[in-house]
Amino acid sequence: MPKRGTVIAIDGPVASGKTVVGKKLAEQLGYTFVDTGAIYRAVTLAVLRSDVSLDAEDAIVGVAEGSSIDITSPTIQDGRLYTVLLDGQDATWAVRSPEVEAHVSQVSRIPGVRRALLGKQRALAARGRIVMVGRDVGTVVLPDADLKIFLVASPQVRARRRYEELRARGQNASQEGILQNLLERDRIDSQRIVAPLKPAEDAILVDTDHLSIDEVVAAILRELDGE
């Protein structure tokens, strides 16, 4: 069993499996699970629900600073991995909508938005015994994490996973449209000036293309055990 206070950072591009892997890993270890992506999605949802233009960066930062966002254990057994509260209201599925999906990279690349959320993310990790997933957890949010994992998968596999996820929730979706959106988000995330998507120098890369969720979790557990 990992040492008390262990902090695990899991990063990777959209639909690489980090959320479901992180959740299952946290459950097996008895750790707290935090998805930083859900926090950025919540800010994006707040912006879309406001009168703020997506081109008005200062105003978007103001929305990020003024929004109350919390991530808790599931409050409803409807397939969710966690509950997202935006200004006290359940926004768990709303933050996964195609509209939010299309704009979250544009919002999250704003330096002021990232600064507004950084302190809260670190405060959660300071409690220890946590699995935190995102795109810059190992490089920026928690550079001193005890273990850093970077999940990779081909765009085609990631698009299929996201398509199946949306269809399972009864949402209409185009797999080709999802693929093009993923490629654009990869471009934005990897080329942004602040906290670009990339593995930390000491991160362990795990290719999830041909691995099940359980196999990925097992691989991470082996790393924790020092195998």
User: What are the domain boundaries of the chain?
Assistant: 7-221
**Does 219 score more than 90 pLDDT?**
yes
pLDDT value at position 1?
44
pLDDT, average across residues 191-198: 80
* pTM (two decimals): 0.78
* φ and ψ of 100, to 5 deg: -65, -40
**Does 2 score more than 60 pLDDT?**
no
Provide the CATH topology of domain 7-221.
Answer: Rossmann fold (3.40.50)
